[in-house]
A and B are shown apart, each in its own frame.
Chain A
């Protein structure tokens, strides 16, 4: 699937969740956006769909930047993983997954990275209380 990019490219793009991978592919191929700088999410609990997934791209050829945003729902917080295009997505999507519970379809390894196995909840969601304590994780010898 190929997505036409707007000309001239605005500093921020809003795309549908299903088009993220195609948009990234177009950005990489047509716009020389070869560096995936950042992947994160923003939680808007009062809004439907609830989450923004935010990507920042940078071009090492033209020094241009672009922010790509997509909205995903609370019931199905899924977007396509950018791992096939960018190696740096591997760690950044893992962090976004554990912090917000966004599922990156096609990501080979969504283990916790800054947290640990058995951590309950997604701490950067707005409904996660800042003072919440976590249960002890049993270590089976």
Chain B
């Protein structure tokens, strides 16, 4: 751990912008917290998965005060969006939460479709739901695997990552990429399922059940795991809501709030599923809620495999859907249509929309403003990770220094989405 006591010189830059002592100015230093040691953890710490800096004032081993700095992966996402067509942003939103790129795709595409007044086809609706749940499993697997490994549990890590790799390979067979899929399209999807894809999906779900059972057996009543996670990083539902926390962290505190249930979108209204909740809102509950949510996702996927209707995956709307390639080569209208869609992008009427999906980490919302041209006037991402970082100090303060690792792991901060 990079242990350093911040000198008073670091606070010289406060108030003025002539002499910048520290481009990342902490909220406090050793002078503000007399009697405590101020340590800087991160931004690249081997035990945290995520580029973030936590500045902590310690009283012995106890964390008294925390200042969280994010932004190390900031790459001007929202500014860049204003320089491309609506269509060109799809590969870009993949890179927000790169553990579940498909959900970002679908949330963005559906927000644009709302602006354009497009109703997606039934097959597309069910496929998006199925793939969202599949992505959620991959995301939760990543989160649980990494946070267990950081506590020294190597075997469950390998079990979980193995299943995740089956999922990645399987999604690569559908989309052509393991992580950044670019599979959603405004008004539909890039392509339909390949031959035999659902049969392999069934196999993977069976293997998932086998290995998730082993992880339950290894972790749920493991003395070391319970000691490290029970009553650590606890938060009540009221506090979580105050800090804007959504998703599994809110549900772990006992509030059964899930957008899939509360304000159903896609095909969730037709599915039978439970919303698992925790009791204490501590690290153990966050682990368990995610484990249970994956089971519910598997249950939903099995229902969706039965329900999946035949039919087209793209809407028949020349404003956003590309014409058949054979028509592009044989008739002038389709050629021009193709040309306009590539050069100018889909024409989205002027207006604004906020639309959100229940992403694995919480509410992923897109606030889009269109001025009627082919490029977005504004794209704002309401990313759950960023909002959760605002409440992270609340989860860390009062606990041990070593508890920062499991708590931070259970929050599942994804830098790409947090820093945009």
A residues contacting B by CB (< 8 A) are 34-38, 40, 42-43, 54, 56, 58, 60, 63, 65, 67, 86-88, 90-92, 95, 99, 109, 111-118, 123-124, 128, 130, 137-140
Contact = CB atoms under 8 A, between A and B. Distances in A.
Contacts of A95: 386
A99 B241 CA distance: 25
- Central interface residue in B17, B78, B380, by most chain A CB within 10 Å: B380
A132 B336 CA distance: 35
B67 to A, nearest CB: 9
A67 B19 CA distance: 40
B363 interface: yes
A126 to B, nearest CB: 8
Contacts of B69: 113
Nearest to B389: A91
A118 B242 contact: no
A1 B367 CA distance: 30
B246 A35 contact: yes
Given A88-B390, A92-B387, A140 B21 contact: yes
B23 interface: yes
A34 B245 CA distance: 11
Contact of A117 (B24, B387, B391, B419): B24
B70 interface: yes
B71 A88 contact: no
A40 B367 contact: yes
Contacts of A86: 242, 244
B23 A67 contact: no
Given A87-B391, A92-B387, A123-B76, A34 B241 contact: yes
Given A37-B382, A60-B255, A90-B390, A42 B242 contact: no
Contacts of B24: 116-117
26 contacts: A34-B241, A35-B241, A35-B246, A37-B365, A87-B243, A87-B391, A88-B243, A88-B390, A91-B386, A91-B387, A91-B389, A92-B244, A113-B70, A113-B71, A114-B70, A114-B420, A116-B23, A116-B71, A117-B17, A117-B22, A118-B23, A123-B76, A123-B79, A124-B78, A137-B20, A139-B22
Contacts of A54: 367
A37 B244 contact: yes
- Central interface residue in A38, A42, A115, by most chain B CB within 10 Å: A38
A36 B24 CA distance: 27
A23 to B, nearest CB: 17
Contacts of A137: 20, 23
A65 B377 CA distance: 23
A138 to B, nearest CB: 6
The 6 closest A-B pairs by CB, nearest first: A88-B244, A91-B390, A114-B71, A116-B23, A114-B74, A38-B382
Contacts of A123: 76, 79
B20 A140 contact: yes
A63 B262 contact: yes
B13 interface: yes
A141 to B, nearest CB: 8
Contact of B244 (A36, A43, A65, A130): A36
Contact of B363 (A34, A37, A42): A37
Contacts of B19: 140
B244 A56 contact: no
B320 to A, nearest CB: 24
A87 B244 contact: yes
Given A38-B367, A88-B391, A139-B20, 17 more contacts: A37-B244, A40-B367, A56-B367, A56-B382, A60-B241, A67-B354, A87-B242, A91-B386, A92-B386, A99-B78, A111-B27, A113-B71, A114-B420, A116-B24, A123-B76, A128-B79, A140-B9
Contacts of B21: 139-140
B5 interface: no
Contacts of B79: 123-124, 128, 130
A104 to B, nearest CB: 14
B25 A140 contact: no
Contacts of A37: 244, 356, 363, 365, 382
Nearest to B77: A114
A86 to B, nearest CB: 7
Contacts of B61: none
A59 to B, nearest CB: 10
A35 B244 CA distance: 6
B117 to A, nearest CB: 16
A120 B9 CA distance: 23
A115 B74 contact: yes
Interface string B8-49: 010011000101111111010000000000000000000000
